[in-house]
Structure 1
Amino acid sequence: DPTGVERGWKDTVLVNPGERVRIIGRFEPVNFGKYVYHCHILEHEDAGMMGLFEVLP
């Protein structure tokens, strides 16, 4: 369970080597479509820390 500064809404997440993070989000019914998630470090994006997810009706 998250504690302290790890709680609350965020738009960035720290992921250390070998860790996994589960992202939970809420999307209103009008926000269907495709969204991109990515790391801001280009070398990390090249290594797979970038992807696409889709919100379906």
Structure 2
Amino acid sequence: MIHPFHIHGAQFKIISRNGEEPPKNERGWKDTISVDPDETVKIAVQFDHKGVYMFHCHILEHEDNGMMGQVKVE
């Protein structure tokens, strides 16, 4: 199942998918991306302010089962 990955309050760019350059339509700033099972996606995040930012899968059952976390920016 595909996971719609989202970061609250920040934007990011996809650096690579499974070590490969992303397609042209994925090279702009994003706040949500689709991630396939067993896929590795490397991103560069732009945080404009210090604080705690939440990230999670947008499928509620996945989020409820642990596909969420926080990043603390100091």
Could you state the TM-score of these two structures normalised by the residue count of structure 2? 0.63
SS of residue matched to 1:52: strand
1:36 alignment counterpart? 54
Alignment of 1:16-31 (within 5 A): 16-28=36-48, 31=49
Larger fraction in strand: 2
Indicate whether 1:11 and 2:35 are aligned: no
RMSD across aligned C-alpha pairs, in angstroms? 1.4
The percent identity for this pair of structures is: 56
Could you state the TM-score of these two structures normalised by the residue count of structure 1? 0.77
Deviates further, 35-44 or 19-28: 19-28
What amino acid does structure 1 have at the position aligned with 2:62?
H
Return structure 1 stretches of 4+ with deviation > 6 angstroms. none
- Paired positions, count: 54
Indicate whether 1:45 and 2:69 are aligned: no
Structure number with higher relative contact order (C-alpha < 8 Å, ≥ 6 residues apart): 2
